[in-house]
Structure 1
Amino acid sequence: MTARDIKPCPQNDADPLLISYLDAIVALTCQREALGLTTSLIDSLCQHVRAERFRLLAVSNLDRNDELDGSNLQGAVVRDWLEPLSVPVPIRYDQDLLACARTKNRISRKLPGMKGRRLILPIMGVGHVTAMLVIEGMRAVGGEDEVLARLLQIFSNQLYLLSRNELDGLTGLHNRQSFDERIKHLVLSAGHRDRRAQSYVAAQQNCLALFDIDHFKMVNDKFGHLYGDEVLVQFARLMSRAFRHQDMMFRYGGEEFAVVLIGIAPEASVPVLDSFRRSLEAYEFPQIGCKTVSIGVACITPGESVDTTINRADKALYHAKLNGRNQVCCYEALVAEGKLAPVTVATGDIELF
């Protein structure tokens, strides 16, 4: 089946923008590749919409109340979706972006010195704006606004469908299935760079960190699973605040979590992870009090297997737990200090976990 077999609206069957983008969606949805959908969206726009510049801005740092009603977005930031290492910009610095996120309506304005107009279109999540498409210097030919609105509706629907099966129902982080797929993609493509965003991420020096909440079983045994679940939820929220938008966060299993730190070398990841460890240690969970976490981190090395990467991070985590818990251990540093034997490179596709 191709996009030409999908007829979203009879009067627009032949619209080249929708046809080209739907073709990409059919292929990429099968791959469960959300970043691929975003790059295909921009590619389709570049080919069929006359404008000076396209930007896809993700909205983050939202509190729960902001997500529900959009009444207070002053603390939210926007980042370039296709540039993982882009600097976050407070949304309040751009009143048009702020208005779009609040009203959930498109904003069109003719800016001084710009040929054409600036069009901002909201991309909806569940009840709130998760991203915005910004088209600068757009020169209207006729009918683009309607086509763009329908295109973004398709785009947001596809992202939602992809995310439903990738998120952990309790914490809202990506689940273990998503972890397996994404870490495999990142490891296999590490060191290979092309113009697409996912290859840009893969070309950076990235690290895998594994987290294990210390003595979590005691929480369930003493207070019950309801309080244990609350610890997991709050732990995930602390992670979301501590790490960057481009970092990939997962519930790895039970009380175990994982983060892929994008563009950070192993030695630089330790203070970042230790900052999170200290913030968790200082946080008081209702009825339970304070909890600690043990963390192991290892570099994602180009050309090596997924199993090897996970095994190295797991060895560092195990070392942290055996030597007092509540600490961050880096695999590369432990090997250099002679405290840990090197993990031999695994071959083949056999999963260790």
Structure 2
Amino acid sequence: MTAQYIKPRPQNDADPLLISYLDAIVALTCQREALGLTTSLIDSLCQHVRAERFRLLAISNFNKDDELDGSNFQGVVVRDWLEPLSVPVPIRYDQDLLACARTRDRVSRKLPGMKGRRLILPIIGAGQATAMLVIEGMREVGGEDEVLARLLQIFSNQLYLLSRNELDGLTGLHNRQSFDERIKHLVLNAGHRERRAQPNVTAQQNCLALLDIDYFKMVNDKYGHLYGDEVLVQFARLMSRAFRHQDMMFRYGGEEFAVVLVSMTPEACVPVLESFRRTLEAYEFPQIGCRTVSIGVACIASGESVDTIINRADKAMYHAKLNGRNQVCCYEALVAEGKLAPVTVATGDIELF
């Protein structure tokens, strides 16, 4: 029986299914190169392993500080890279997946009504299981274990090299280069979503938030860069806990961070960002105490340039800083209230504070 999986298709702006597919890939923070790797992996598996179905599950919302046991996996979800439109599933609902992620060892089980067995193999990255290969209905004909071990080792190594190019070395969040690539995709696809939206149905929106730690230079000057780096690391971890698995988090530059809040209006984003602001305000950093953050958020609208959208979020954040810091400001609300002049054309370089 041929294994079930989805292959990437040639790009075609007129293809609504492909646009949905690409939207989901962006939301999963999975680059084109990673898609190519996964396709090659599945093609090789189909040639060498007899099974009914292959699934490649990405693990999201994992926190490195948490112990790998069931009680601390409440927010961890898995989502199939090969079926990007699938709904994420909490890992605690599947004890075999949970056991594989916790022990980082293979799990094999013969399920009732299934020909062959279900085999779950961890894909290790940065010392933890970052994904899992699930083979359902596997039939052994000899030599599969060696083939699987070699394929997964190659896949893990290549995926790790790709991820290193996208991640900030200090915080583990996606870096500025990754931000630039993803925001372009989101702006491009915003227009496709609006054009294919049904009558009387509002197209889903994404929003960009820029977050800047208040008086961060004072931390470096008073306590040294070692403590400053620790603040950045802890700040990133608080972000990872506060936002959803589909939201994209970046270290934008220095002490400035960015979050793309997926399928949320600016009005809906403000309470979420306000909750994070309060969490940070109450958090005590080692030796330093509490810090605050100024946040600006703007809608990722179709028909606008990337620079314009970034500039709007940046102006909202600047407004927060000029008016007392430690607050969330929404660009659209500020313009409506007459507190900020509309930004219609990007004005050049983005200011960092």
TM-score, scaled to structure 2 = 0.77
Instruction: Tell me the residue number matched to 2:169.
Output: 169
Q: Secondary structure at the match of 1:165?
A: helix
Instruction: Tell me the residue number matched to 2:181.
Output: 181
Instruction: Report the CA distance between 1:61 and its aligned residue.
Output: 4.3
Instruction: Tell me the residue number matched to 1:4.
Output: none
Deviations 1:7-51 (A, max 9, x none): xxxxxxxxxx9xxx9xx9xxxxxx963552466358637965665
Gaps of 5+ in 2: 11-29, 194-202
Instruction: Report the CA distance between 1:311 and its aligned residue.
Output: 0.8
Instruction: Tell me the residue number matched to 1:75.
Output: 72
Gaps of 5+ in 1: 1-16, 25-30, 194-202
Q: How does 1:125-164 map to 2 (within 5 A)?
A: 125-139=125-139, 143-164=143-164
Pairs aligned (count): 311
Give the superposed CA RMSD.
Answer: 3.1
Q: Please give the alpha-carbon distance, in whole angstroms, between the structure 2 residues aligned to 1:65 and 1:319.
A: 35
Q: Which moved more, 1:50-59 or 1:278-287?
A: 50-59
Q: Which moved more, 1:328-337 or 1:308-317?
A: 328-337
Q: 1:81 to 1:208 in 2, by over 3 A?
A: farther
Q: Does 1:267 align with 2:288?
A: no
Any conservation in 2 of the 1:173–1:249 contact (CA below 8 Å)?
yes
Q: Which moved more, 1:74-83 or 1:215-224?
A: 74-83
Deviations 1:107-159 (A, max 9, x none): 22221123432221111112221111223334556655543433322222121
Q: Please give the alpha-carbon distance, in whole angstroms, between the structure 1 residues aligned to 2:324 and 2:180.
A: 29
Q: Please give the alpha-carbon distance, in whole angstroms, between the structure 1 residues aligned to 2:303 and 2:149.
A: 42
Instruction: Report the CA distance between 1:62 and its aligned residue.
Output: 3.9
For 2:72, the aligned partner's letter is G
Instruction: Report the CA distance between 1:326 and its aligned residue.
Output: 1.0
Q: Please give the alpha-carbon distance, in whole angstroms, between the structure 2 residues aligned to 1:43 and 1:343.
A: 47
Deviations 1:195-251 (A, max 9, x none): xxxxxxxx9521111001111122122222222221111111111111122221111
Instruction: Tell me the residue number matched to 2:311.
Output: 311
Q: Please give the alpha-carbon distance, in whole angstroms, between the structure 2 residues aligned to 1:100 and 1:291.
A: 38
Instruction: Report the CA distance between 1:87 and its aligned residue.
Output: 4.0
Q: 1:305 to 1:147 in 2, by over 3 A?
A: farther
Q: 1:264 to 1:71 in 2, by over 3 A?
A: closer
Q: How does 1:1-353 map to 2 (within 5 A)?
A: 33=32, 35-37=34-36, 40=39, 44=43, 51-64=51-64, 72=69, 74-76=71-73, 77-82=76-81, 83=84, 86-91=87-92, 93-139=93-139, 143-192=143-192, 204-346=204-346
Q: Please give the alpha-carbon distance, in whole angstroms, between the structure 1 residues aligned to 2:94 and 2:350.
A: 48
Instruction: Report the CA distance between 1:272 and its aligned residue.
Output: 0.9
Q: Please give the alpha-carbon distance, in whole angstroms, between the structure 2 residues aligned to 1:51 and 1:229.
A: 48
Q: Which moved more, 1:283-292 or 1:331-340?
A: 331-340
Q: Which moved more, 1:39-48 or 1:283-292?
A: 39-48
TM-score, scaled to structure 1 = 0.77
Q: Please give the alpha-carbon distance, in whole angstroms, between the structure 1 residues aligned to 2:35 and 2:140.
A: 27
Q: 1:88 to 1:330 in 2, by over 3 A?
A: farther
Q: Please give the alpha-carbon distance, in whole angstroms, between the structure 1 residues aligned to 2:252 and 2:154.
A: 30
Q: Return the structure number with greater relative CO, CA threshold 8 A, min gap 6.
A: 2
For 1:327, the aligned partner's letter is Q
Q: Secondary structure at the match of 2:170?
A: coil
Q: Please give the alpha-carbon distance, in whole angstroms, between the structure 1 residues aligned to 2:68 and 2:315.
A: 46
Instruction: Report the CA distance between 1:103 and its aligned residue.
Output: 3.4
